[in-house]
Structure 1
Amino acid sequence: MEFIIPIKGEVKFNITLDPTVWIFDDRRIDLDEFFSGKYEYKDELEEYTKVTSAHWSREIIEGATYPPTLKTEKKYERTKVLTSTFGVELKQFILNAEPLKNATILVVETSEGDHSFPFTELDSLLLKFSHKGKPLREDGPVHVLKKDGSNINNPIKYVTAFRIE
């Protein structure tokens, strides 16, 4: 099975996706939390601004200090990566390929057939790339899930490409 997935068709840039590196991506979503209702969407810029502002204020008041919990936080994150189920939003990758103005449909090509979605549904699609810390080698490299959880038990598997029409 090929782990590289192309985005092709009516796009300005044909790009390829490599789901094996998304485990290191800050945009990854813990799907166990997401579908259990515990997930909280965070605006990356807003989150960065808050953390930076708090750090700046603390350094002005207290001086530079290093948190004693840094090692335990890293260990927790490593354990979470090895045991959790993760995904990413599909929309960001499609927009990076810059679909042409006449493009209105996303076709998910699989070895079992094609699945079409209008661009209005891009916000509702997730790409699951790991299950309990393991890559999806058997029926992957990704599964396409809907954010509402309607196809969580029957996701789109065996994805070979994304085609924009």
Structure 2
Amino acid sequence: MIVPIIGNVTYSITMDPTVWIFDDRKILLDEAFSNQVQNNENQEDELEKAATRWDREVYHQKVNPPVNKSISRLEGEKILTESYVMPIQHFLNHAEINPEGSEAILVTTNGEITISLQELNDSYLLFALNGKPLKEDGPVHLIYKDGSNRDNPIKGVQKIKIN
């Protein structure tokens, strides 16, 4: 159930979608395509880039994703019934795609699919459907932020290779 990002990156990383349910960066699937979420993401991205630069300047290289400190019973019940996506942009920032990177190859259960780095950066990873991990056609599905493939996402993404 892990998804590595490998290839033309500074840091190869391994994503574990099974723990994202506890991550504050997750977005409800139904809210993912609203303008408000996208505007907040742009602001958060700029803040994250500034914070990353600051951390590197003062020699702190910790990667501590925001995690819910406490979850009420009501929130816990909601988590077990909702569908969630995670913006992939957070992980691509940490992997640091090299300037020579030109495209992304999604290794899926049905073969390889090549997309542009911009398309990859502007995508969500669906990791929970009705509160359950995607076991049959997972571990994640890739959905473009513009919603153009929302009804027909790229399923069974098992690895992301940057060329």
TM-score, scaled to structure 1: 0.74
Identity %: 42
Whether contact under 8 Å (1:32, 1:84) holds in the other structure is no
Call closer, same or farther: CA 1:17–1:29 in 2, change over 3 Å.
same
Aligned-partner Cα distance in 2 for 1:110–1:19: 15
TM-aligned CA deviation for residue 12 of structure 1: 1.3
Whether contact under 8 Å (1:104, 1:119) holds in the other structure is yes
TM-aligned CA deviation for residue 38 of structure 1: 8.2
Q: Which residue of 1 aligns with 2:75?
A: 77
Whether contact under 8 Å (2:119, 2:144) holds in the other structure is no
Q: Which residue of 2 aligns with 1:99?
A: 97
Whether contact under 8 Å (2:2, 2:15) holds in the other structure is yes
AA aligned to 1:98 is E
AA aligned to 1:136 is L
Which of 3, 6, 9 lines up with 1:8 in the alignment? 6
State the superposition RMSD in angstroms.
2.3
TM-aligned CA deviation for residue 33 of structure 1: 2.3
Q: Which residue of 1 aligns with 2:153?
A: 155
TM-aligned CA deviation for residue 76 of structure 1: 2.4
Detail structure 1 runs of 4+ shifted over 4 Å in the superposition: none
Q: Which residue of 2 aligns with 1:54?
A: none
Whether contact under 8 Å (1:87, 1:130) holds in the other structure is yes
Bigger radius of gyration: 1
Q: Which residue of 2 aligns with 1:143?
A: 141
Aligned-partner Cα distance in 2 for 1:74–1:107: 39
Aligned-partner Cα distance in 1 for 2:135–2:27: 19
Counting only pairs closer than 5 Å after superposition, residues 1-40 of structure 1 correspond to structure 2 as 3-35=1-33, 37=34, 40=37
TM-aligned CA deviation for residue 40 of structure 1: 3.5
Unaligned segments of structure 1, at least 5 residues? 46-70
Counting only pairs closer than 5 Å after superposition, residues 114-153 of structure 1 correspond to structure 2 as 114-153=112-151
Unaligned segments of structure 2, at least 5 residues? 46-69
TM-score, scaled to structure 2: 0.75
